[in-house]
Every structure is written in C-alpha cells, then in structure tokens.
Chain A
Amino acid sequence: MNIVVLVKQVPDTATERKLSAADSTLDRASADGVINELDEYAIEEGLRLKEAHGGEVTILTMGPDQASDSIRKALSMGADKAVHLVDDALHGSDAVQTSYALAQVLKKIGFDLAVLGSESTDARTGVLAAALAERLGVPQLSLASKVEIDGSTVRIQRITDYGYDRVEGSLPAVLSVVEKINEPRYPSFKGIMAAKKKPVEKLSLADAGIDPALVGLAGATTQVVDFADAPPREAGTVVKDEGDGGAKLAEFLAAKKFV
C-alpha cells in the first residue's frame, strides 16, 4: 500500500508565537519549528498500517527550507522517503491554496491513502483533509480514532460529541486522525542513523505542476486584516464561604457551562 503522510512544520506550542508585522504571516524565525503534534499521530498510524499491510510510507511536506528538520524526524520514526514542496512563491498561501498545491503533488506522486492530523496547532482551520478529498475526488474519512483496512475498504471510528460513528470508504482515500488513535513512537537510535540516507525529493512549483497564480499571499482567498496580542489573563473570582459556598460554586460552574 502506498501511504502518504502529510506533515506540517509549525512553531513550537511551548514557545511564544508571533505574526510578522510586515505581512501578517507567521513569524517562523521567532520560534523553533516542530512537527505539528497531530501529524505525529498520522505518521504513527501510517507506520502501523504499513507494518500490518506492507507497502511504503512517504512523508509529504510543504514548507520553507527549515521544514527539512521535521522531515528528517519523520524519517527517523521509520518513514521510507519524503517529498518536500519548497518554493518561495508559496509564502503566505491560505488553506484553499495549500490544498490545491498539496493535491497537485499527491496527483503527481500517487497514493492509496493520504493521512494527516485533523488540524494544525498554528492556523487551526481543520479543513485541509476535506479540501484535499474534494480536489482529488476521493472519499474523506475524518477525525479517526481507530482505522482498519480490509482489501480496498477503510473503516474508521469517527469521534463525535456523543461517542463515535462507524464510517467506511474505499481506497484511495484521505484520512485525518485525532490524538486518541495511537501513541506516536520515539525515533530509535537506528532510525535516527538511517534517516540521513533516506531519499528526500525537493519539488518546486514547476516540478509539481502548480500554477504560481493560484498560490501565495497576493492571491490568497482570505486575508488577515489586523491582529492584536491576546489580552492578559484577568484575576479570578473569589468565592467566600459564608455558609453558601457550595451553592455559589455550583452557580459559577453552571454560568460557565461546566455543569
């Protein structure tokens, strides 16, 4: 089975993240880049499916040069090879444009199953899986907490507010996963040493057959008009117990919809 895992490099959530004042895009220089957390679960699931069904796991990343660190880590976890779509003209692309660019690459390299995290910790649009499936004309199986593949049928448990739905579709397909699905492995020493020798193919827009007019900040379908720092946290509410402390606490929690 030809499994492609889409991996996005995002700024480390443990550090302070900023937008650049010049063009309101992400300031990548101000924070360390790491693999988007949910994509680590996607990598793990891709590796498990390969271990169970055979085939190959390819990492697909769209991002600037420094995203190669994240590609290397994905390879050290056990993926076989990687494709890195890297081109200055991609800078500032929004979710709609990104889905176009990645769909073009997926068409070019081919896939049975494209796996990705259900959202990224930076933009958090959570629409990429749906957009990719639409552009590629294949089923989308989203928010999977469990996956089974039987021949050309994919069955998942799709998490919902009330529990989960059982959903099935046929290959080729796009699969998005949630963190309940597995526990991502740590790179082993042998995996780390082997990663350096694994092939990473770099593609430009021209290589991937991407129309430059359809990507990049200038033609983005959405625009960041303005941004501001989050307001500092306000002081909490102090409930003084005058015999009715319990009731007041319950009232507070009810007002915040916790109970």
Chain B
Amino acid sequence: MSFVESEERRALRESVAALGAKYGHEYYVRKARAGEETTELWAGAGELGFLSVNLPERYGGGGGGIGDLAAVLEELAAAGSPLLMLVVSPAICGSIIARFGTEAQREYWLRRFADGSAKMAFAITEPDAGSNAHRLTTIGRRDGGGWVLNGRKVFISAVEEADAVMVVGRTADAATGRLRPSLFIVPTDAPGFSRTPIAMEIVSPERQSMLYFDDVRLPGDALVGDEDAGLLQLFTGLNPERIMAAAFATGIARYALDRAVAYAKDRQVWDVPIGAHQGLAHPLARIKIELEQARLMSQKAAWLYDAGDDAAAGEAANMAKYAAAEVAAAAVDQAVQTLGGNGLTTEYGLGTLVGAVRLSRIAPVSREMILNYVAQHSLGLPRSY
C-alpha cells in the first residue's frame, strides 16, 4: 500500500492545474453571471483527454480510473473553475454505460464523452421521493419494442448543456414491491420531454432544472443494462458520483484555503502579518488537517472502486463525500472570516462560493442520508425509514 500518488497521477494533476490556472475563478464567475456555459474550458480539457481519463481506451478514453477523473476535477476546482458536468457525464453515466451498456451504446456515447462532443445529464431525484430511491414514481411502460416514460424529476444539473439525460425510473411491472431501478437514456429533444429551470441563489454556470416526462416514447435500446438488474447498476454510477462530489468539495476547500493563507501572510495590521495571530492561524491549520483527512478518504474510495470492490467503495465514498463537504463549507467560511470585509468582495473571489459549499452538504446526497447509511450499514443500528 502506498499513500503517495503515482508519478503519472501527479503529472496529470500538474497539467490540469496549469490548464485551470489559465481560466481561474474570474472566468467561472463571468460565465455564471452571463448565463453562459464554460464551453472553452470544457473543450480545452477535452482536447487533452482530461474529460474521459476514466473511460476505456477502446472507446477513445484514457484507460485510467475514477481516481484519475477525481484528480482532474479536484485540480480544476482548486483553480476556482470546476466543471460540474465531470461528476455526471463521464463519472456516473460513463461508468454505467461502460459496465452495463450494449456495444452500440458504448460505441455511440463513450466515444462522444471521450472527444467531448456530447454530454449526458443524470436524473434521479423526484419531488415526492426526495433522496429516497425506494419511492421513485417515474415509470417506463413497454410499448411494442419500445418504452413510454412518464414522471417528473427535480434538481437535475446542467440539462441545458446535455444531449441526453440518463433517467432513473422503474418499469411498470416493478411498480410495486422491491425497487428494481431501470435506467433510460432520454434525448433532450425527445417529444414529450420538457424542462423548467429552477432559479437558484448559487453562482454556477450549470443550472438546476425540473424535468417533465409526458408520454415520452423511447426505442427499445434506450434502456441501459437489464430492466431488473437491481441496485448494482445504479450504484455503479452513484459511487463515482460521491467520489467526484468529494473531489469537487476538496478542490474548493483548497482554493479557499490557499486564498486565506496568502492573505494572512500578506495583510499586515500594526507590526506583524495577521497570520501570526493564533486566532486566525489555528482555524486555518485545523482546516488543513481536515482537508488532508477528506482527501485521503476520497483517494481510498477511488482506489477501492477502481479495484472493483463495490461494497467497500460504497462505504468509503459516502464517508469521503461527508468529510469533503464539511471541510469545504468550513474552509470557505474561515477564508471569508480571515479576509474580513474583503472576503465578501467580488475582487477576492470567495463570496461566490458560499452558496456552492452550502449545497455540497446537501447534494448529491445529504449529510443526513450519509449518516443514516453509516448508522445502519457500518454500525448495524436499526434503520430509521
């Protein structure tokens, strides 16, 4: 076992960080405020193969693992310009299609993910089910050789920039009894599919949407994997999602901590830099410790996932996501405190992250759902719902 990343992983981080530095947080905020997409950064990362490091080489991917993709996202976030769609398109959808998709689905989608020419959103959360995947009411009915899909989804990210959405539903036969999630690929221009943006108080180029499926007719090959393969298919996508959410959060935490530390070294009141005062130094040191703990847990989760141990990866990914979200929120909060009034000015680029890190404690899985999971699965406590 080694706690040092490979030479290649470190070289990947260095190269992604250099690309990220070219764009930075100002670019990210400018795009978000103008209601534009981060197209240039996405294309630049695509040309260098960064968007598909985890996908199989056979389909144009890099042949690496989710640990490599997490490194890409963490470095972009640490540069102040994360690409949220990395969590969804190559990590969730790419992992599921690579493992359970048909050869035709892999050829079509993975190649497009690899060259950056297509993106796929992912829709699981429903207004009446919340995070409780056991109560999903989006239903696919067989219709000849195809499917007819009906239902609603809420808080779905970046659908405006996606070519298709992978929708978690259930088949009509399985509408009662134990959940057998089925995964459908729905093109964003399919008749009967519509989208309403949700106005959010978060500075992000990627929007949140409500989705409606009103008798959406899909061909037979819209289904990914088996219609009753159970939760395994779903968790093939959700474990990478949590690992990537953790990378997003630790990257933001690094960005915030870097800015706070630079300011604390430079800003001088009376005769010493403010970082000489323990009232500011100790909270930053504590965040550094919690950040390294979260990063270590994330690397462990990615390692387990890439080693094929899904069950252990599930527990580690949940713990990593929890720890990362907590430290990201703490880091941005303490960075703002360190900078005082400057912490909320536009110039210093921290105030824009307050909403984003608050969100990271809620999505893609809430702090409470992770605590439920650990209480029930890791500690064997009675289930609460």
Contact = CB atoms under 8 A, between A and B. Distances in A.
Q: How large is the interface on B (under 10, 10 to 19, 20 to 34, 35 or more residues)?
A: 10 to 19
B230 interface: no
Interface in B26-59: 47-50, 53
A188 B11 contact: no
Contacts of A195: 11
A192 B8 contact: yes
Interface in A182-207: 186-190, 192-193, 195-196
A73 B11 contact: yes
A72 B18 contact: no
A189 B13 CA distance: 10
Given A192-B12, A193-B62, A193-B63, A186 B48 contact: yes
Interface string A57-88: 00000000000000011001000000000000
B347 interface: no
Interface residues of A, number: 12
Given A72-B11, A195-B11, A196-B8, A189 B19 contact: no
B62 A187 contact: no
A186 B23 CA distance: 14
Contact of A187 (B7, B15, B68): B15
A135 B15 CA distance: 36
Nearest to B8: A192
A189 B7 contact: no
A233 to B, nearest CB: 14
Q: Which of A76, A192, A193 has the most CB of B within 10 A?
A: A192
A72 B8 CA distance: 10
A189 B62 contact: yes
A228 to B, nearest CB: 25
A72 B11 CA distance: 9
Interface in A164-220: 186-190, 192-193, 195-196
Contacts of A189: 12, 48-50, 53, 62, 64, 68
A76 B15 CA distance: 10
Interface of B: 7-8, 11-12, 14-15, 18-19, 47-50, 53, 62-64, 68
Given A187-B11, A190-B62, A195-B11, 6 more contacts: A72-B7, A76-B15, A187-B15, A188-B50, A196-B7, A196-B8
24 contacts: A72-B11, A73-B11, A73-B14, A76-B11, A76-B15, A186-B15, A186-B18, A187-B11, A188-B15, A188-B47, A188-B48, A188-B50, A189-B48, A189-B50, A189-B64, A189-B68, A190-B49, A190-B62, A192-B11, A192-B12, A192-B15, A193-B8, A193-B64, A195-B11
